[in-house]
Amino acid sequence: MSATVNMPGSRLLAAYLGEIRFEFIKALRTPQFAVPTLFFPIMFYTLFALALGSRGGGGSLTSFANYGVFGCMGPGLFGFGVALAVERELGLLTLKQALPSPAGSYLIARAVMAMLFVGLITLMLMTLAVLFAHAPLTLGQATQIFCVNVLGTLPFCAIGMFVGSLVSGQAAVAICNLIFLPMSFLSGLWFPIGILPKFLVDIAPTWPAYHLSQLALRAVDAPNSGSPAIHVLALVVITVLFFILAMRRLQSGGYRLLGARPRRTLAIVTGTAAVVAALLFAGVFGGRATDAASAATGAASAATGTPAPESPAGVAVPQVVELSNFDAGSAATAYGVGWGAAGDDMRGGNSHATQQLVDGGAGSSKGALEVTGAIGDGIQYPFAGTMFFPQGPPMQGLMDFSGKKTLTFQARGDGRRYMLMVISGLAVEGIPLMFDFETGPDWHEVRLDLAKFGSVDWKRVRAIGVGTMGPVGPFRFAIDDVRLE
């Protein structure tokens, strides 16, 4: 592609727009790309979100945001990477260089084509979320999530471009699939990331899909974690890094897709992309949550007359091993607010639970705590069971459990799988730890090794719960001899 052809501004713009138009139409007329790219995110959202009874609340918005990120990955990886590999392998890329096209028009057209596909996917997901899931999606949230998704495909375009510069067309399909599916799984797009083993939770920030997911969740006011600035910086760095690596590889193979002065154009394109992406993302997320947090901190400081600490730890846990044994005929605990039945009605659900003290605890002890109830289908992520708040008013006090190594209790039940849930952190956001365990008619010990779960802020624990998230229907379980050692 020659950069020496002098063209008027209007003809130059027409040339870029024409290249974009041709790439978009070509992609639409390629069923093996267009059909799975456009309809797989829609199909998965319909099957796993709508079919599971998502009818509003935070759960439906969480699924909507995550499946939108899932839809961002395909157009970039396959539409850019696989197509580039095939055209390079067939010699079409060499032919394009002989055409009097403006510098970078091929790459720009590919990237815009991927962004247009993501825009279509996002609009279809919005339609499903509003009309069928009845998600409380506001116009402002819709605008933000649209910007996040469309711009968020750029890191995957860069990764796909790097793959396409390295391997053949057939190999590119396999490699992009190996990137696409595991990254979706490990980034928490299909289920809460907190249920993964600790080492997988620790490496989640290495995946661009994870950072994009946190930005998307923030855009719709769903639970998220981390700083938006860090997420944006990570995505910009990934985009620029893989773009540079891909261009170096292509230039070493004789492809000059950025015109007669590739280094100059590469520096301009890279710098502009980084600045524009940072500014656009900052505009989408700038200040709303940060300003709210600062205002809340300032108000608290003014009320108390003392500076608010940046990251206060919770109250140190008392040196008591046995938290509760239920032998005294009470659900009280050695410290904090005792065990209390909890459902999801506060989040718009219809799951409920009741609890009572029963005779015949574990190890022939006097009593145990039995919890019964039913899981409903009012929201996507229902929950019912019993909750323990270790410090102060429920969900407000923080307790430091970092000095403890294990949490154990005895459990029995109706054969369902149940979970231990730990809610922690300075803010009630993000996904809590959920540790599954089996139940049966006989008592057995459930043991949680605290050091293995890095997703929990053990210095700032707000609540510990035992319960279930489904399937829909009645449940019954009992716990006894809860210990923290």
Domains and CATH numbers, the chain: 9-290 (no CATH), 315-484 (2.60.120.430)
Q: Phi and psi at residue 436, in whole multiples of 5°?
A: -80, 150
- The pLDDT tens digits of the residues spanning 115-133 come to 999 999 999 999 998 888 7
Cβ-contact 371, 447 below 8 angstroms: no
What pLDDT is attached to residue 15?
A: 79
What pLDDT is attached to residue 467?
A: 93
What pLDDT is attached to residue 294?
A: 35
Distance (Å, whole) CA 247 – CA 255: 9
Q: Phi and psi at residue 314, in whole multiples of 5°?
A: -75, 175
Angle, vertex CA 94, rays to CA 93 and CA 99, nearest 5: 90
What pLDDT is attached to residue 296?
A: 33
Q: Residue 99: helix, strand or coil by DSSP?
A: coil
- The pLDDT tens digits of the residues spanning 92-110 come to 777 777 676 776 788 888 8
Q: What is the pTM of this model?
A: 0.61
CA 381, 384, 386, 387 dihedral sign is positive
What 8-state DSSP symbol labels residue 452? G
What pLDDT is attached to residue 380?
A: 66
- The pLDDT tens digits of the residues spanning 357-384 come to 999 899 889 999 999 999 988 776 788 9
Distance (Å, whole) CA 430 – CA 67: 17
What pLDDT is attached to residue 298?
A: 36
What pLDDT is attached to residue 385?
A: 94
50: left (phi over 0), alpha (psi -120 to 50) or beta: alpha
Q: Which residues of the chain have pLDDT under 70?
A: 1-7, 51-60, 98, 100, 103, 192, 194-198, 223, 253-312, 380, 426-431, 453-455
What pLDDT is attached to residue 259?
A: 56
What pLDDT is attached to residue 270?
A: 58
What pLDDT is attached to residue 469?
A: 84
Q: Residue 433: helix, strand or coil by DSSP?
A: strand
Total residues found in the chain within this entry = 485
